[in-house]
């Protein structure tokens, strides 16, 4: 996994977010995709092949950074900045929409 350049530096985390239920430090300006790249087992699985995926394009095109963010599935992680207390959960398979 990647490591943030700010991890272990003098810059204290700006906030805590919940990643798969675990409190995780995060910094202002960081995207959800960045979290997916540095925390194990949050990357989605493809609804077509079932294979694991991680963020790729970082610009809203490839859809490989989808995650469940604050309960909303299929959120494009690279387009969303972290907020204090945000819940980020792994998305397995396609989004289920309410009936």
Partner 1 sequence: MDADIIIIGAGVVGAALAYGIAKKGHKVIVLDGKDRDLRAARANFGLVWVQGKGSDTPAYTELTLQSSDLWPTFRQELAEAAGSRVDYSRRGGLAFCLSEADYQAREALLERTHNRQRQAYTEMLGRHALERMLPAVTLGNAVVGASYCELDGHTNPLQLYAALLAAVSTLGSQVRFRTPVTAIKPMSGGFEVDTLQGGVRARRVIVAAGLATPGLTDPLGLVVPLYAERGQILVTERLAPMLPLPASGLRQTSEGTMMIGATNEKAFDTGVTIQSAIKLAHRAQRIIPALGSVRLVRQWSGLRVLSPDKAPIYAESTRHAGLFAAVCHSGVTLAAAHAAIVGPAMAEGQLPQNLAAFSNGRFDVQKCA
Q: What gap in Å lies between CA 88 and CA 95, rounded to an integer? A: 15
Contact flag: residue 96 with partner 1 (CB under 8 A): yes
Contact flag: residue 94 with partner 1 (CB under 8 A): yes
3-state secondary structure of 60: coil
Kindly tell me which of 31 and 91 has the beta carbon lying closer to partner 1: 91
Among 13, 74, 87, 89, binds partner 1 (CB under 8 A): 74
Q: Which stretch binds partner 1 (CB under 8 A): 13-21, 23-31, 32-40, 88-96?
A: 88-96
Which of left, alpha, beta for 46 (phi over 0: left; psi -120 to 50: alpha)?
beta
Q: What gap in Å lies between CA 94 and CA 22, rounded to an integer? A: 23
Contact flag: residue 12 with partner 1 (CB under 8 A): no
**Smallest gap from residue 66 Cβ to partner 1 (A):** 8
How far is CA 78 from each of CA 8, 11, 60, rounded to the nearest angstrom?
23, 23, 6
- Interacting residues with partner 1 (CB under 8 A): 47-48, 63, 74, 93-99
């Amino acid at each position: 996994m990647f490591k943030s350049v700010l991890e272990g530096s003098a810059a204290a985390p700006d906030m805590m977010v919940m990643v798969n239920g675990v409190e995780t430090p995060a910094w202002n300006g960081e995207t959800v995709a960045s979290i997916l790249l540095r925390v194990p087992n949050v990357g989605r699985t493809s609804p077509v092949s079932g294979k694991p995926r991680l963020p790729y394009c970082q610009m809203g095109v490839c859809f490989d950074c989808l995650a469940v963010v604050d309960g909303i599935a299929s959120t494009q992680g690279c387009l969303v900045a972290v907020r204090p207390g945000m819940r980020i959960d792994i998305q397995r398979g396609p989004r289920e929409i309410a009936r």
